[in-house]
Chain A
């Protein structure tokens, strides 16, 4: 059965905000072809998750914005001798679930299967073919491209999506992070099937792969599985490093008129990267400012005190380079100025004075006391191990996370926010009616 409901806040924060984990050890090794493998044995449920991640995200699109996403969308439309129907039949007849997706930094293929030997064998054989022998047939390409273009048109119905696109552009200018993963109508229209094959050949290579295995599978079979998956991939040249992000030269504000009853507001600038020296002060500080789901300064000032919005939050999205820091809210059109003023003042007060000791303690208690919730499912574990593997974080990253949170002082937070969240460079996007 489905669940039809509306939540007080929206449940996304429930699983998306997690950052930490103290749990069973992650095993790590490298295959002969240079792929990095990360493995966690969780035998309590008879299922296995496998994910193969590549440095093949939208930051690798070049001028062909959307090519990474379109490549990803084509994997299960044809592989080896199998067409889309055959692939689907093979996965679904054993209850396996295949998915593929891209972010700015990476692209991945995922498989969830029962660990039953016969079923897992069918699922993995199919996954292997989809990963290493995709056919990128002309007819499949044209159809998926058409569907993607329809999705891009659909995107134009959403003031929130329009705001995010303008925001990324304002923050990143000409940097590869500046465009949305799925590209634009004109850039996707220009992509040819040969571009897909070329993108795949250049990026989906063994020495550019990270394999993550979580579930009911012993270490030896996991080693064989990882080895076998990457052995069918070619090796090649890893792409150049994603260039450094340069901060915007000055603050700017842009309004896009849209026939909606609410104005979508985004305020921010390039924030922090995955190995940022200010990672923890910014993480803890943001939890107090606007990261905590029902308890934060922005939530209190914008929603609880003034009823200006349903959701009001701030977040860092750390990436290989500085991912966005974004304050977001939606409010009735005629309240936009007032809401922006509240955001401005809340942020300025936070930067000028830092957090209060009691707030800092409460935030740490929340993060550390709820530590176990962050990876209480295989699904969440898979996400964290993938992050650790792709960004080459230390294997004890999660084990040391709580102590790093505990060590943050109010002065650290204030200093980091003052240095990094520069009001003189802040980018503001508003999309909505007058």
Chain B
């Protein structure tokens, strides 16, 4: 969980896991591996005459050593700065001129690039993405400008946002040696000191067809997509990819607490318990039970945190739980809340822990369990409204290492979860010794307005 996830255009509730599964219309995913190791996933969806194409690289902030945190994200920006064949700006100009929308995103475990286009323009995307997969032209003067852009981005996303800043400090305390201790965007002094050689090394090390997954979803013919992919991506040479070291987090030996002071108006509490992910060996059944548990606490207006803490006791003005099963390494089960007037963060910490204890001692009733499952089934249909999110899920599962086929199990696995399993994962994972708690301690915000009326237009600035 991360404040950054709030920028997502489509609200993903805790239960809105974009699991796809085999669609009713028989749409299936076709997998094709090129000779150089590039994996292609194609899913036909003929609802609209459009296509989305995404290139996912197995590299993100958890791959980064100390001193160059954030370099995956910096490289993502530099990927728009030109190749020998297409100088800076050409990529975006060509995509735009073809009616396309494009962007890129960096996460803890991946870096991905996408274009959405009218269906006949898919070739444009392949041509340009194949080119920048191997022929990026990294220039020092472009890095200097883009470093400023990324620094502004950091100010906007983190430095001037109390809760985002708190999340950053929280992760740094919750994790001792796991790379989740570092922010995706990188620490300020690391951002300030990347060299063009650092960027080039990072690019050479990870950007290769055998470290990438190409996902295409839309109104296309699978065979033609395979042919196009062969044409543009097959000539690229593979690299020797050295896997990243495991960096397994050491056992946490007791509750950790921190306070973050920042100019703010409302206090806020954030709690995280160490939790397994889909990638954790032997934890798969637990992972689905934790997903259901998150739904019991925060799966809509009827879920426990809203029903009991916001209504009911009226001690919180907002409260939430979140769990992310789709990470490469174990992450956290998170709880968060903002106290009502007259209540403190400590009152809320107590109340949230009380909800955890209830889950550990009492079985959830059938109504609650069925509500969560009904929401999962429905959201599975709703997610199919968007090609983009269908592609996102395939790309993510493939990139974190569990394989896209996991998407087909999601609904069935959730349906199998029992009340006993929910209780058992609460007992196993939501324990004080593996808990980190952060408090936001609001500091005064002095503001003063100085109106400067002026009549001469140009001089208004």
Q: List A residues at the B interface (Cβ < 8 Å).
A: 1-16, 42, 44-47, 76, 84-85, 87-89, 91-98, 112-114, 143, 146-147, 149-151, 153-154, 156-159, 162, 166, 250-262, 267, 292-295, 300, 303-311, 330-332, 337, 340-341, 343-344, 348, 362, 365-373, 375-379, 422-428
Alpha-carbon distance between A255 and B451 when the two chains are bound, in angstroms? 6
Interface SS of chain A: helix, strand, loop or mixed? mixed
Q: Would you call A309 and B4 a contact (CB within 8 A)? A: no
Q: Contacts A4-B324, A5-B184: A45 and B385 contacting too (C-beta < 8 A)?
A: yes
Q: Contacts A2-B12, A295-B93, A365-B97: A7 and B104 contacting too (C-beta < 8 A)?
A: yes
Q: Would you call B310 and A376 a contact (CB within 8 A)? A: no
Q: Would you call B157 and A344 a contact (CB within 8 A)? A: no
Residue of A whose beta carbon sits closest to that of B13: A97
The reply on B403 being an interface residue by CB < 8 A is no
Contacting residue for B266 out of A42, A150, A376, CB 8 A:
A150
Q: Contacts A1-B325, A252-B453: A14 and B101 contacting too (C-beta < 8 A)?
A: yes
Q: Contacts A251-B456, A253-B452, A259-B446: A3 and B396 contacting too (C-beta < 8 A)?
A: yes
The reply on B106 being an interface residue by CB < 8 A is yes
Residue of B whose beta carbon sits closest to that of A259: B263
Alpha-carbon distance between A96 and B301 when the two chains are bound, in angstroms? 11
How far does the Cβ of A200 sit from chain B's closest Cβ, in whole Å? 20
Residue of B whose beta carbon sits closest to that of A8: B104
Interface SS of chain B: helix, strand, loop or mixed? mixed
The reply on B189 being an interface residue by CB < 8 A is no
Q: Would you call B162 and A157 a contact (CB within 8 A)? A: yes
Contacting residue for A362 out of B93, B147, B160, B448, CB 8 A:
B93
Give 13 new A-B contacts, CB below 8 A, not counting A14-B103, A331-B152.
A1-B17, A1-B18, A4-B108, A5-B107, A5-B184, A85-B311, A97-B378, A97-B382, A150-B340, A157-B161, A255-B450, A260-B159, A424-B457
Q: List B residues at the A interface (Cβ < 8 Å).
A: 1-2, 4-5, 7-10, 12, 17-18, 24-25, 47-50, 73, 76-77, 80, 88-89, 92-93, 95-108, 110, 112, 116-119, 121, 144-153, 155-157, 159-162, 184-185, 263-266, 278, 299-303, 306-307, 310-311, 314, 317-318, 322, 324-326, 338, 340-341, 367, 370-371, 374-379, 381-382, 384-388, 392-393, 396, 445-461
- 5 CB contacts below 8 A, A to B, read A14-B388, A92-B371, A157-B266, A292-B96, A330-B156
Q: Would you call B24 and A372 a contact (CB within 8 A)? A: no
Residue of A whose beta carbon sits closest to that of B183: A6
Give the residues in chain B near A45, CB-CB below 8 Å: 47, 381, 384-385
Give the residues in chain B near A306, CB-CB below 8 Å: 145
Give the residues in chain B near A143, CB-CB below 8 Å: 310-311, 314
* Residue among B119, B121, B381 with max Cβ neighbours from chain A (10 Å): B381
Q: Would you call B155 and A370 a contact (CB within 8 A)? A: no
Contacting residue for A369 out of B97, B107, B144, CB 8 A:
B97
Give the residues in chain B near A366, CB-CB below 8 Å: 96-100
Contacting residue for A368 out of B88, B99, B156, CB 8 A:
B99
Q: Would you call B454 and A146 a contact (CB within 8 A)? A: no
* Residue among A113, A343, A426 with max Cβ neighbours from chain B (10 Å): A426
Residue of A whose beta carbon sits closest to that of B144: A307
Residue of A whose beta carbon sits closest to that of B308: A85
Give the residues in chain B near A337, CB-CB below 8 Å: 461
